[in-house]
Structures are given as structure tokens and as C-alpha cells.
Amino acid sequence: MNTRNQWKIATFLIVCSLLATACKKSHCKHEISPQADNSQFVNLTDVVPDAILEIRYFSTYNFVGQRIDGYEEPTALLTRVAADSLKAVSDDLMLLGYRLKIYDAYRPQKGVDHFVRWAADVPDTIMKPYFYPDLDKSVLFEQDYICEKSGHTRGSTLDLTLFDMTKEKELDMGGTFDWFGPESHPDFCGNPVTGEYTGDNSKSSTGRSITPEQFKNRMILRQAMIRHGFKPYESEWWHFVLRDEPFPNTYFTFPVKKIKHHSHRKNRCKKQCKK
């Protein structure tokens, strides 16, 4: 082989190496951290089309009083496995005349950080009459109503209630979503393990109570969620976590907005990296 041919081969190999490096840095490998990767998430309503969305943190009707950081669209996202389990819940409850109504699902860390900043701003109490009238805002951290980390950020937690299709309105749960107080606890006025209503409202500092029917309605939701792999939360009747969540230690950062089909991105990667 003469010197000229050797030079051509060497030049060709160098160019190939540079192209391969450029490809890896651009489209064929994840450019983002695992926390920013939404490839294992789905749009909740793509899997549970009967679900009603009322994404409170996209609106101003929430305990902060403004749209929460990271909520770019009024949609709900979940990990694929959590959405599949929720579909089974929905199918069960549809037979009883109910639809699921979703207040929140996946929550980016940016949203949690917004809550933390708000809680530290003690004088900001514009929504106190609606969500925490019996509490001083300064206790929200110590009583774990606001935390620096949230199960929602792991992608398999959601907040929801039931919609009565016959009455064409939400089922009466005896309290609003995101009410900060013992009245939101699943064991308020009853035993959630046995489903028995006791009427014990001693935990309420103001004597608030719920009726037997309201307690029963909470149990309808709770029991359906437990049957299909979700575990309840001791402080909120509306809050459930997939028992075998796929990302128990990952707190995601991507925003809440509709997820597009990933197949398009993969095809685009292949086309660009063939050059």
C-alpha cells in the first residue's frame, strides 16, 4: 500500500470517529439526566380516558393562590405502571356509576420548591380561609403539610376524588381537596380499616364533623384504590401511592405538559446519525 492510500484511509477513519462522537453527543444518547427523562411516563387520560382532570396547581384555586412552577399545561402524567393500575380502578368504579376526578398526579421538583418558598413566606395567607382556616401558617412545616420532597415527584402518586355520573357532580367527601387539618385524615369520624363510621370528631379543634354518608364515600374510593395496588396516606383521604412504584428513589424534574410519542424522536435520531 502506497503512502497516498495510507493517508486516505487514516483520514477516513478520523472522519468516522468524529462523526460517531458527534452523534453520541447529539441525538443517539440521552442528553438529559435520568431525573429529566419522561420516557417511562404517559398522559394519564391516554390510559384512563374516562378520567376528569381538574389540575388545581395549573390554576390559581389552590392553597398558594397562583399557578405553581413547572405546571405548563392542565394535564396529568403518571408512570406507565401506575396508569395501568389506575385504569383497573376506573373500570371497577365505572360499574358503580363513578368516574375518577384527578386533582394532581406527577409533580416536578420545581413545583415542590415553589411550595417550600411559599410556606417560608409566612405573611402570605391569601388562601387561608379556603384551605387552612384553623391553622397558623407557621406550623405547616413542622406538621408535615409542606415538605422539601414529595412522593408525587416520583411519578406514581396522585390526588383524586370521585364524580357521581347519576347526580352529575363530585361525590360528597365531607371536605375539600388540600384542606390542611385532621378533618382530611382517613380515620376522621371512622375506622378506615373496617370501614365503620364512629362519629368521633375529637381531633377537630373546632368541632367539625362529617356524616356517615361522607365517610362511606371516602371508603368507596379508598377500597377501590387499595384493591388495585395503591396504598393510602394517613393524612389525606384523596392521596394514594402505587405500592410497587417503579422509581422509589428518583425525584423527576421535567415539566407537566402533554408527552409526545417517543417513537418520533427515535426515528429522527436514526436519520440524523446515519449521515
Same domain, 7 and 134: no
Same domain, 2 and 71: no
Same domain, 171 and 94: yes
Same domain, 161 and 93: yes
Same domain, 182 and 265: yes
Nearest C-alpha neighbor of 171 from the set 117, 225, 216:
216
CATH number for 248: 3.30.1380.10
Same domain, 45 and 83: yes
Same domain, 14 and 105: no
Tell me the pTM.
0.84
What local confidence, expressed as pLDDT, does residue 5 receive? 54
Same domain, 83 and 124: yes
What local confidence, expressed as pLDDT, does residue 172 receive? 98
Give 10-residue mean pLDDT values along the chain (275 residues). 53 48 43 89 98 98 98 98 98 98 98 97 97 96 93 98 97 97 97 97 96 98 98 97 97 97 46 39
Nearest C-alpha neighbor of 218 from the set 181, 175, 156, 169:
175
CA distance 29 to 270: 11
Same domain, 17 and 80: no
What local confidence, expressed as pLDDT, does residue 264 receive? 42
Structural domain boundaries enclosing 11: 1-31
CA distance 72 to 62: 16
Same domain, 147 and 227: yes
Same domain, 164 and 210: yes
What local confidence, expressed as pLDDT, does residue 29 receive? 45
Same domain, 3 and 76: no
Q: What is the number of domains present in the chain?
A: 2
Task: Write the DSSP symbol of residue 36.
Answer: G
Decide if 119 contacts 71 (C-beta within 8 A): no
